[in-house]
Copies of this chain bind each other. A is one copy, B any other.
Amino acid sequence: MEPTPEDMSLTSALMTLQRWMHGTRSVIARELGLTVQQIELLCVLHNHKPSFGELAGLLGCDKTNVTGMVDRLTRLGLVTREADPRDRRISRPSLTDEGGAVGERVREAFVRAVAERWSGVSPRDRARLARLIDTDRV
């Protein structure tokens, strides 16, 4: 399957987008005194109680990594471990009230940044963009 010119320009757009997202997330994290990975974890835990293994999959990192991340966020009072009543091996990280509030601020800030970056694009095109991005996911 040969890459077409459209694939090339799409790739280049994605690289630019990648840098923009990284920068945006860094700023948001820094304002809250957290790391990018930590705010990502808080967002993933929104309305969601995965096990450590599932959480690792969602974050795209090793499960041995998640242990330490949850430890540090627990120390900050943002996350707790909840036991699974059906399987005593499993414990499910979940947000504390404060962790939920911080996650909410993160999502708000990100939506605001997105709205601002695409403010020159019509709502119709923004919806189209969202559909095109997620196309093969559906």
Contact = CB atoms under 8 A, between A and B. Distances in A.
A87 interface: no
Given A120-B136, A121-B132, A6 B43 contact: no
A107 B23 CA distance: 21
A10 B136 contact: no
Interface of chain A: mostly helix, strand, loop or mixed: helix
Given A129-B129, A136-B117, A21 B14 contact: yes
A128 B125 CA distance: 10
A114 interface: yes
Nearest to A2: B115
B58 A19 contact: yes
Contacts of A116: 1
Given A3-B115, A17-B134, A128-B132, 18 more contacts: A3-B112, A6-B126, A6-B130, A7-B114, A7-B118, A7-B126, A9-B130, A11-B107, A13-B129, A14-B21, A15-B43, A17-B133, A117-B136, A119-B136, A121-B132, A121-B136, A129-B129, A129-B132
